[in-house]
Amino acid sequence: MSEKETVRLVVVGSTAIDNIETPWAKRKNLLGGSASYACAASSFFTSVGMVGVVGEDFPPEYMELYRRFGINLEGLQIKPGRTFRWAGAYEENMDERRTLLTELNVFATFRPELPPAYQVAPFLFLGNISPELQAHVLDQVRRPRFIIVDTMDLWITTAVEALRAVIGRVDLLTLNESEARHLSGKHSLIKASRRLLELGPKYVLIKKGEHGSVLFSRNGMFLMPAFPLEDVLDPTGAGDAFAGGFVGALAVGGRVNEAAIRKAMLYGSVVASFGVEAFSLERLSSLTREDIEGRAALFRNMCQVR
Amino acid sequence: MSEKETVRLVVVGSTAIDNIETPWAKRKNLLGGSASYACAASSFFTSVGMVGVVGEDFPPEYMELYRRFGINLEGLQIKPGRTFRWAGAYEENMDERRTLLTELNVFATFRPELPPAYQVAPFLFLGNISPELQAHVLDQVRRPRFIIVDTMDLWITTAVEALRAVIGRVDLLTLNESEARHLSGKHSLIKASRRLLELGPKYVLIKKGEHGSVLFSRNGMFLMPAFPLEDVLDPTGAGDAFAGGFVGALAVGGRVNEAAIRKAMLYGSVVASFGVEAFSLERLSSLTREDIEGRAALFRNMCQVR
């Protein structure tokens, strides 16, 4: 990949090897991690560069898979040691997930560095890493037009002040329902989002899994259901695929306004819905832009009060 | 009320006196029951007649309240004995409800009879009573254009064959998520609704509480979020107010097609959202059509992918 290639979107996050158990299947050594899901999802819409770290054990076929998605890998570090490993098990009905193993390995000492071509990219998705590292990335971007940050309970518990500072430097905060309640101290999502908007972002996007997502801004709300699926094979990475598809679709368009954001949420939902139809990136790797447009049209009709 | 008055919609269901506890308040002797909520909600849109039963202890001020909503009471029986009494308590966050008391009283021997003016009404909402009584009502209607039936777990457990037969005679079945799963034996709502459509109705409308509602037909799905509220004071009757507002809005229009049904679902959600802002019919009794149209416009915008 040439260093001259234009990267419109930079995604920072984890790359992992996952073992996943569902009520119907057990799969080992799957490609996972927030950056993997988000980059793959965004690659259908825009040119994306990945900032992450893998160990020397990282399977060459997964590197090849990244390339097939067209992901720029200049920002992907290869370090001595083992790749981040995660294992989880879903309960019946896929409602609950237990973490069976978290082995940080090379991810424990990850320090994200942006290659020059990434530093001038207009769109940035800061996936779920420590707020300190997220701030380190923010210090490197030179011409940001739209920055999205994700987080998780761990950082709300252990690094809330650093997290608040990061949120104050971005355009959109995305997190799930329970995290929004945890970070704001409010149960009502309307009250929670009001508190979170006070931290500085223009938008708060709350992910509610099978119940869709809600966008909050100072102007109001946008309610987006999830695309309904008959069977979900593996929900791992759905939130990251949603966020990746969302920011990817946003990066295509010219202006970032609420109309563009709503449309991008529709695309994010659609890509995420394909993602959970199979394990890992298996469904996304055979997906086409036509598949996405077909389901987006269907979905739009399903949401339309006429 | 004159017998010559035209009734476009007939609502059959319970009328009750409720005691309700929430984490913040305890209220006694409130007007409740599925017919009360559904009739009040539909009264903003169309002329509605109530079929139900109350005891001699039924407070005159509640009869007066029905009249202020413009509800035709020719079909409301007054029987010797006490009115149906129900008591319930909501847990913190209003997520769970415990039933504290169910005292059927005159409702135990209720046999719904339709006055002649009701028998020719084009719209019928069969609220949650036994399938045997629902069938008895169906035997009395002479020019039905659109019939909606609601049910509950009790009948799925104790009278499933009679219930299936009733469902086969109506246009739309409405029930909540867990009831849809119980009746169909399927966890996926898509699979559940497919089974339920096989029983004969043209539409299945699944209520998901704070997560909105989904309409299933042979042509596809329509996804409607719930109108988001900062505070819910009392969720009792929300499903009935939704159904009542829905069928009331449907009864105004000329043709019943999917576009009309989608629009009616929006109105049902809006009326239900007002209803839960206070106990019993307290918010609905001060509500105006202008309030409804204002929130409907706001809500439509919240759901619109532009």
Contact A303 B306 (CB under 8 A): no
How many angstroms separate the CA of residue A79 from the nearest CA in chain B?
Answer: 44
What residues contact residue B68 under an 8 Å CB cut-off, 6+ apart?
A: B285
Q: Which residues of A touch B (CB under 8 A)?
A: 93, 187-191, 208, 211-212, 214, 220-225, 228-231, 259, 262-263, 265-266, 298, 300-306
pLDDT value, residue A5: 67
- The model's pLDDT over B183-197, given as tens digits with 9 standing for 90+, comes to 999 999 999 999 999
Q: Report pLDDT digits (tens) over B151-187.
A: 999 999 999 999 999 999 999 999 999 999 999 999 9
How many whole angstroms separate alpha carbon B180 and alpha carbon A71? 43
pLDDT at A1: 43
What's the whole-number mean pLDDT along residues B114-128? 97
List, edge to edge, every strand of the sheet that includes A123-126.
A76-79, A48-55, A9-12, A123-126, A146-150, A172-176, A203-207, A213-217, A220-224
- Please tell me the predicted confidence (pLDDT) of residue B2: 44
Contacts of A212 in chain B (CB under 8 A): 225
CB contact under 8 A, B305 and A302: no
What is the full per-residue pLDDT of chain A (306 aa) written as tens digits?
A: 444 469 999 999 999 999 999 999 999 999 999 999 999 999 999 999 999 999 999 999 999 999 999 999 999 999 999 999 999 999 887 878 999 999 999 999 999 999 999 999 999 999 999 999 999 999 999 999 999 999 999 999 999 999 999 999 999 999 999 999 999 999 999 999 999 999 999 999 999 999 999 999 998 999 999 999 999 999 999 999 999 999 999 999 878 999 999 999 999 999 999 999 999 999 999 999 999 999 999 999 999 997
- CA-closest candidate to residue B71, choices B33, B108, B109, B105: B33
Chain B positions in Cβ-Cβ contact with residue A217 (cut-off 8 Å):
none
Sheet of strand B220-224: strand arrangement:
B76-79, B48-55, B9-12, B123-126, B146-150, B172-176, B203-207, B213-217, B220-224
The pLDDT score that the predictor gives to residue A173 is 98
Nearest by CB to residue A220, choosing from B222, B230, B302, is: B302
Nearest chain A residue to B227 by CA: give it. A223
Mean pLDDT of B263-286: 98
Split at pLDDT 50, 70, 90, the class of B273 is very high
Q: Do B262 and A190 touch (CB under 8 A)?
A: no
In the CATH scheme, what is the homologous superfamily, with its name and number, of domain A9-303?
Ribokinase (3.40.1190.20)
User: Which residue of A195, A223, A227 to mutate against B (max B Cβ within 10 Å)?
Assistant: A223
Report chain A residues whose CB lies below 8 A from the CB of B188. 230-231
Whether B229 sits inside 8 A of A190 (CB atoms) is yes
Could you tell me where the beta strands, DSSP code E, fall in B91-151? Answer: 97-103, 123-126, 146-150
**Structural domain spans, chain A:** 9-303
* Chain-chain contact of B225 with A229 (C-beta, under 8 angstroms): no
Distances in Å between the Cα of A279 and the Cα atoms of A142, A159, A177, A235 are 36, 32, 24, 8
B228/A214 touch (CB, cutoff 8 Å), yes or no? yes
At A92-140, the pLDDT tens digits run 878 789 999 999 999 999 999 999 999 999 999 999 999 999 999 999 9
Nearest CA in chain B to A296: B305
Maximum Cα–Cα distance for chain A, whole Å?
Answer: 58
Confidence at B92, pLDDT banded by 50, 70, 90: confident
Which percentage of chain B shows pLDDT scores above 70?
98
Question: Across residues B97-109, what is the average pLDDT?
Answer: 95
Arithmetic mean of pLDDT over chain A: 95
- Residues in A closer than 8 angstroms to B298, CB to CB, are 220
> Which residue in chain B is spatially nearest to A229 when comparing CA positions?
B190
**Distance separating alpha carbons of residues B51 and B35, to the nearest angstrom:** 8
Chain B residues within 8 A of A262 when measuring between CB atoms: 304-306
Per-residue pLDDT, B3: 42
Nearest Cβ partner for B306 among A188, A225, A263:
A263
pLDDT on residue A283: 98
SS3 category, A188: coil
Residues 6+ apart with CB under 8 A from A293: none
**A221 and B228 in contact by Cβ < 8 A?**
yes
pLDDT at residue B93, as a whole number: 78
- Kindly tell me if the per-residue pLDDT of B261 is higher than 70: yes
